[in-house]
Amino acid sequence: MPIPSSLVTLLVGMALVLSGLWVGYNVNLLPLDASANAPVYDSLFRVLFSIGTILFVGIVGLVLFSLWRFRRRAGDHTDGLAIEGNLLLEIVWTAIPAIVVLFVGIYSYDIYERMGGMSSLNDHAAMHRMPPPETIEASVMVADASTVSGGGTESSPRVWGGIGTAAGEANVLPVEVTAMQFAFIFHYPEGDITSGELHVPNGRPVELRMKANDVIHAFWVPQFRLKQDVIPGQPTVLTFTPTKAGSYPIICAELCGPYHGGMRSTVVVHEPDAYEAWFQKNSPLTATVASAPGNPTA
Amino acid sequence: MTVASPNDFQESLQPQGWLRYFSFSLDHKVIGLQYLVTGFIFYFIGGALAGVIRAELASPISDFVGRETYNEVLTLHGTVMIFLWIVPVVNGAFGNYLIPFYVGARDMAFPRLNAVAFWMIPPAGILLIGSYFITGAAQSGWTAYPPLSITTPALGQVVWIVSVLLLGGSSIFGGINFIATVLKLRRPGLKLMQLPMYCWAMLGTSILVVLSTPVLAGTLLLLSFDIVAHTGFFNPAMGGNVVVYQHLFWFYSHPAVYIMVLPAFGLVSEILPIHSRKPLFGYTTMVYSILAIVVLGLVVWAHHMFTSGTPPWMRLFFTIATSFIAVPTGIKFFNWLATLWGGKLALNSAMLFSCAFIVNFVFGGITGVALAQVPFDIHVHDTYFVVGHFHYIVYGGTVFVIFASIYHWYPKFTGRMLNEDLGRLHFLLTFLGFNLCFAPQHWLGLNGMPRRVAEYDPSFTTLNQISSVGALLMAISSLPFLYNVLVSAFRGEEAGDNPWNALTPEWLTSSPPPVENWIGEAPLVEHPYGYGVEEDTLSLEAATGRDLWGGAGRR
C-alpha cells in the first residue's frame, strides 16, 4: 500500500523543521562572545538562522522537486494544469509569513530592549519619571537599560543614537572616544589617560562618549556585537560590559578615506587587578597623587 | 489625440538598417535595444571594476592598486552597476521593448521623450567613466556620504553628481512615459487586470521612480552646493547635519532597490508560465503584492541608518516596516512555486536562470529580513555580510533575471534562437561563480570584515581568495554568453514568430516585429496566461490534497 502523500508531506515538513532547528543551534558562524549583550545577540541569531534555514531549504527543495518531477518529457508538447489560483492557499501563505515576521519583529524588539537599545537617550521627561536604579541581579543583565536611568544632565548636548547609557550606574567607566582619519583616540576622564588602545576591566560597564573630528567613522567590535557610527557634529554614546578577558579588534566600519581599511585599534579587556595596574601605571594623576579620585576598586 | 510615431520623421532623415541603432530613433523597439546594448557595455565595465576589487582583496594588504584608486574603483563599480546597468536595463530596455506590445500600442506614449531619456545615458556614462582618467573619479562610495564627499577631491565628486543627475533625469522621463503608456495607451477593450504582470511591475516601479528620484536629485544638488559654493547644508563645521543627508539619500536609494527588483519580478512572471505551460498562479494577489511593495518600499529607508544617529523609536518603526515587506514578497515567491507545480517544465536556459533567481533571491530575502532587525543589523551593518546580502538581491536576483530574459526574448529581438548548450554552460558557470563569490562574504561580515576596505585581517585570506575565484568564474561565464549572442544573431537557428508557443501579445506578431508592431490591428489578449489543458483541469472544490500535491490530472 502506498504511503498517503499527506503523510509524506507532514513527515518531510517535520524533518525540515527539526533539521533547521538543529542547524540553527549547532552551526556556529559567529566569533567569540565577549560582552554582556553578545549572548543575547547570539540567541537572536540562532532563531533567525533556524527560521532562515527552514525557509531556504524548504523553498529550494520545492524548486528542485518541481524541476525534476514536472520536467517536460521529450516529445510532450501539451500544457500543464490550468490552475489559475487558489484563495485558500493564498491566505495561508500570506498569513504564515505575516505571523513569522511579526514573531521575529517582537522577539528582536525584546532582544533590542535587553541590549539597552530602547533607553531614552535624550528624553529628559522620561528620565525623571524613571524609578531609581534597581539592584542588578543577574550578571548577564548588567547592560540591561531598563535598570539604568537616562544619561546626561539638562545642560549636556543632545546625544544622538547609540546603545544604552549607563550614566546612572555607580561604577560605570566613562571613556571619551575621538575618531579621526585614521585613528581612534581614547581618553579616560577619571585618570586623564590618553591612549590609542582601549583598556577596560572585565565585568564593569563602559560608556563610550564618541565624537568625530573630520568625517563619519564607525566604532565596531565584532566580539561585542556592537557598532555605532561616530558622527561629526553629533555626539553618540555606546555602552557595553565586557565579559571575557582578551584582546579584540576595534574596526572602523564606515568608509572614511584612503586608509579606511587600516583604521583599526584594539580593545584589551583586563581582569580587574590587571586593569588597575594598567590604570595606575599610565595615569598622570596617580603617578604623583597616591589615591586615584573616584576610581573604584573591583 | 495624435501620437507621435516613428513615421513622423521624414523617410530621408530616419536611418534604416543597423544605423537606426545609432540614431535618435523614436521606435520603442530600437530604443529598448539601445538601452540593452548600452547597459551590457557598462555591465562589462562595471564587471572589470569588480575584478579590480577582487584582485585587490585576494591578499590582505593593499598591494594591487593605490588606496585612493581603490576607493575610486569601488565608487565607480557601485554607480555603474546601479545607474548604468541594472536600472536602465530592467526598466529602460525591457520596459521600452515590451510595454507597448503588452498594452496593444504602436509605440510609447511619448516617443521623443523616450529617445531623449535614452540619449541622456551615454553622455552620463562617458562623463562618469571619463572622470577617472581626466579629473580623478569620486572616492566616497556610491552613497557619497558627507563630510567625506565634501572633503575628497571636489572635481571628481562634482562630475559624479552631474552624471547621477543626468541618469536620474533619464529615469524620471522613462517613469513618466511608462505610467502614461500603461494607463492611457491601452488598446480599446483591454482591461487593467488583463495586462501581463510586467506592466503592473513597471507601473509600480515607475510610481517609485517618479516619487523618489526627485528627492535624490535635490539632495545631490544641495551636496554640490556644499562642495562648490561652500554652503553648509551637510557640513557639520558650518552647522550642517550629515544624518539629514542620509535620510534624503536613502529615501531614494532604498526604493531604488525595488526599482531594480520589481521589474525583474515582472519579467520572471512572464517567463515562468510560458516555459511551465501553466497560467501564472494567483494573478490578482500578484498585482496587489506589487502595489503593497511599492507602498511599503517608500517607508523603510532608515533601516540603512540603524547605526547612524537615529532615535530608538525610529529604529523600531523601520524594523517593523521593513520586516513586513517580506509578506508581499513572499506571496510572489509562493505564487511562482505554485506556477511551477504541476507544469510541463522546459529545462532551458531561460527556465534555469529564472529558478536560480528564485533560489538566490530567497537567500537574499532571508538575510534581508535578518538585517531589518535592529539588534542583528548593529553587528553586521557596513560589513561584508551586507555586501553578500545585496549582491544576492541585485545580482542573484535581478541580473539572473536579465540573463533569463535575454534567452527568452532573443528570438523576438532577432528572429533567431540562442544556442541552448552554450546557454546552459553560461548558467552553470554563472551560478557556481556567483555563489562561490558571495556566499563566503556573509561569514566574513559576521566575523569582522568591514566593507569598502582594501586591506583586512590576514585570517580572512582564504575565504577572500575563494570569493575572488568565484568572481573569476563569473567573468569567464560571460565568454560563452558573448559568443552566443554575437554569433547566433547571424548563424542561430531560425526562430519563427513564436518559438515558445506563447500567448502574450509580443509573440503574436512577426519576429523581429515590424515598425509600429503589428500589421493591421493589435490583437486583444484577454488571457495572457491562458495555458493549460482544460480536460485535465480538476474542480478545485472537488480535488483532494493528494491530487494537488501529486500533480493532479497526471494520473
Q: ipTM of this predicted complex?
A: 0.89
Cell digits of residue B382: 557596513
Cell digits of residue B9: 520623421
- Which residue in A has a C-alpha nearest to residue B359's C-alpha? A60
pLDDT at position A136: 34
Query: Collapsing DSSP states into helix, strand and coil, what is residue B292?
Result: helix
Residues A210-216, mean pLDDT to the nearest whole number: 92
Residue B208 lies in a domain: yes
Cell digits of residue B20: 537606426
Q: What backbone phi and psi angles, to 5 degrees, belong to B73? A: -65, -45
Residue B21 lies in a domain: no
Q: Which residues from A are below 8 Å from B454, CB to CB?
A: 260-261
Quote the radius of gyration of chain B (alpha carbons, Å). Answer: 23
- Which residue in A has a C-alpha nearest to residue B65's C-alpha? A258
Residue where the block lists cell 504602436: B106
Task: Answer yes or no: is pLDDT of A286 > 70.
Answer: no
Nearest-CB residue to A218 (from B307, B343, B533): B307
Q: What backbone phi and psi angles, to 5 degrees, belong to B345? A: -80, 125
Residue pLDDT tens, chain B, 555 long: 455 555 555 555 677 778 888 888 899 999 999 999 999 999 999 999 999 999 999 999 999 999 999 999 999 999 999 999 999 999 999 999 999 999 999 999 999 999 999 999 999 999 999 999 998 999 999 999 999 999 999 999 999 999 999 999 999 999 999 999 999 999 999 999 999 999 999 999 999 999 999 999 999 999 999 999 999 999 998 889 999 999 999 999 999 999 999 999 999 999 999 999 999 999 999 999 999 999 999 999 999 998 887 787 888 889 999 999 999 999 999 999 999 998 999 999 999 999 999 999 999 999 999 999 988 999 999 999 999 999 999 999 999 999 999 999 999 999 999 999 999 999 999 999 999 999 999 999 999 999 999 999 999 999 999 999 999 999 999 999 999 999 999 999 998 899 999 999 999 999 899 988 988 888 899 899 988 866 445 555 555 555 555 444 443
Beta strands A173-180 and A183-188, pairing class: antiparallel
B window 418-447, beta carbon within 8 A of A: 442-443, 446-447
Nearest-CB residue to B375 (from A44, A62, A257): A44
The minimum CA-CA distance between A61 and chain B, rounded to whole Å, is: 10
Nearest-CB residue to B279 (from A41, A82, A105): A82
Average pLDDT over chain A reads: 80
Q: Does B243 touch chain A (CB under 8 A)?
A: yes
Residue B24 lies in a domain: no
Nearest-CB residue to B375 (from A111, A216, A253): A111
Nearest-CB residue to B378 (from A215, A226, A262): A226
A112-116, A280-284, A285-289, B49-53 — which is least confidently predicted? A285-289
- Which residue in B has a C-alpha nearest to residue A261's C-alpha? B453
To probe the interface with B, which of A6, A79, A250, A256 has the most B CB atoms within 10 Å?
A79
CB contact under 8 A, B537 and A81: yes
Residue B4 lies in a domain: no
Query: Collapsing DSSP states into helix, strand and coil, what is residue B298?
Result: coil
pLDDT digits (tens, 9 = 90+) for A101-148: 999 988 988 888 887 776 655 443 333 333 333 333 333 333 333 333
Residue B490 lies in a domain: yes
| Domain residue ranges in chain A | 5-68+89-114, 139-290
CB atoms within 10 A of CB A113: 19
Residue where the block lists cell 514573531: A103
pLDDT digits (tens, 9 = 90+) for A18-43: 999 999 888 889 999 999 889 989 99
Nearest-CB residue to A229 (from B307, B323, B456): B307
Q: Does B311 touch chain A (CB under 8 A)?
A: yes
Q: Does B342 touch chain A (CB under 8 A)?
A: yes
B window 449-478, beta carbon within 8 A of A: 450-457
Range of the domain at B203: 29-536
- Which residue in B has a C-alpha nearest to residue A123's C-alpha? B311
Measured CA to CA, the distance from residue B70 to residue B139 in angstroms comes to: 8
pLDDT at position B520: 85
CB contact under 8 A, A112 and B315: yes
- Which residue in A has a C-alpha nearest to residue B382's C-alpha? A253
Cell digits of residue B36: 540593452
The minimum CA-CA distance between A260 and chain B, rounded to whole Å, is: 6
To probe the interface with A, which of B79, B307, B354, B541 has the most A CB atoms within 10 Å?
B307
> Which is the CATH superfamily of the domain at A139-290?
Cupredoxins -  blue copper proteins (2.60.40.420)
Task: Select the more confidently predicted residue: B99 or A74.
Answer: B99
Residue B203 lies in a domain: yes
Q: Which residues from A are below 8 Å from B277, CB to CB?
A: 72, 78-80
Q: What is the pTM of this model?
A: 0.90
Measured CA to CA, the distance from residue A274 to residue B222 in angstroms comes to: 52
Q: Which residues from B are below 8 Å from A89, CB to CB?
A: 282, 334, 338
Nearest-CB residue to A81 (from B67, B347, B553): B553
pLDDT at position A190: 86
Per-residue confidence band for A155, with pLDDT thresholds at 50, 70 and 90 = very low
B window 218-237, beta carbon within 8 A of A: 236-237
Per-residue confidence band for A157, with pLDDT thresholds at 50, 70 and 90 = very low
Q: Does B358 touch chain A (CB under 8 A)?
A: yes
Nearest-CB residue to A260 (from B319, B383, B452): B452
Nearest-CB residue to B62 (from A108, A214, A261): A261
Q: Which residues from B are below 8 Å from A45, CB to CB?
A: 376
- Which residue in B has a C-alpha nearest to residue A248's C-alpha? B448
pLDDT digits (tens, 9 = 90+) for A172-194: 899 999 999 999 999 999 888 99
Look at chain B and report how many structural domains it folds into: 1
pLDDT at position A109: 86
Q: Does B312 touch chain A (CB under 8 A)?
A: yes
- A183-213 burial, b at 16+ Cβ within 10 Å, e below that, comes to ebebebebbebebeebbbbbbbbbbbbbbbe
Q: Which residues from A are below 8 Å from B63, CB to CB?
A: none
Nearby residues of A210 by Cβ (< 8 Å), 6 or more positions away: A162, A176, A177, A178, A179, A219, A228, A230, A235, A236, A237, A238
- Which residue in B has a C-alpha nearest to residue A64's C-alpha? B355
pLDDT at position A119: 65
CB contact under 8 A, B308 and A85: no
CB contact under 8 A, A117 and B312: yes
Name the burial class of residue B324, with classes exposed (0-12), middle (13-18) and buried (19+) by CB atoms within 10 angstroms of its CB.
buried
Residue B6 lies in a domain: no
To probe the interface with A, which of B287, B379, B539 has the most A CB atoms within 10 Å?
B379
Nearest-CB residue to B450 (from A89, A97, A220): A220
CB contact under 8 A, A251 and B139: no
Is the Cβ–Cβ distance between A254 and B382 less than 8 Å? yes
To probe the interface with B, which of A83, A160, A180 has the most B CB atoms within 10 Å?
A83
Residue B158 lies in a domain: yes
Q: Which residues from A are below 8 Å from B283, CB to CB?
A: 84-85
Pairs of residues, one from chain A and one from chain B, whose beta carbons lie less than 8 Å apart: 319
Task: Give me the CATH number covering residue B346.
Answer: 1.20.210.10
Per-residue confidence band for A80, with pLDDT thresholds at 50, 70 and 90 = confident
Q: Which residues from B are below 8 Å from A56, CB to CB?
A: 362-363, 366
CB contact under 8 A, A44 and B376: yes
Is the Cβ–Cβ distance between A252 and B448 less than 8 Å? no
CB contact under 8 A, A161 and B311: yes
Q: Does B545 touch chain A (CB under 8 A)?
A: yes
Q: Does B400 touch chain A (CB under 8 A)?
A: no
Q: What backbone phi and psi angles, to 5 degrees, belong to B378? A: -60, -30
